[in-house]
A = this chain, B = another copy of it.
Amino acid sequence: MSRRMKIDLSVILQKATELVDEQGLDQLSIGLLAEKLEIRPPSLYNHLDGLNELKQKLAIQGVKKLHEYMQQAAVGRSGDDAIRAISKAYLQLVREHPGLYDASTRFPDANDQELKQAQESVVQLVLQVLDGYKLQEEIAIHMVRGLRSILHGFTSIEQMGGFGMPLDINKSFLILINTFIEGIHAVTINEEKYMQTND
């Protein structure tokens, strides 16, 4: 940023992250990014294969950062407390890096091994947090999916400006997480009841 910043992949990713966080993922273009880096568009091809590869790398970075946030939040906590902490961390990441998070959910190549592994590590982290509930293995996985759905859903809707009514959004979030936690407790008490697909 000062005089002649040395451009390498990490600088490119950093600028791209700033760009998408400020202007949205859809505004990311080779041209605009090159402009921010003060080079010509084709020069970017010396560092990466094109826009798709860039988006893929952003996706990976986004998932890794999400994991990082959640992991830090989970340190030294367990049970309900841990769920609240990782949920809050998730929300915080999306608010601080809306574009990067968006990138982490709209990637060109879902089969990318590095991406898959990063995603898996988030799942494992949540499974670890749920470990304390002594749920059946299968139920635990369903619960991970549930919590992910809640977190992704809430943050996405918030980002798209979907909560229209003038009502404290943070409170909505806390209540949602608490409702889910209460639900887990209820399910814990009678797991069998929930293992049958009654429909």
Contacts and interface: CB of A to CB of B under 8 A. Distances in A.
A179 B184 contact: yes
B183 A179 contact: yes
Contacts of A88: 199
A185 interface: yes
Contacts of A112: none
Contacts of A179: 143, 146, 180, 183-184, 186-187, 194
Interface of A: 84, 88, 105-106, 110, 116, 119-120, 123, 138-139, 141-143, 145-146, 148-154, 156-157, 160-165, 167-172, 174-176, 178-187, 194, 197-199
Contacts of A170: 197
A164 B119 contact: yes
B152 A157 contact: yes
Contacts of A84: 199
A183 B174 CA distance: 13
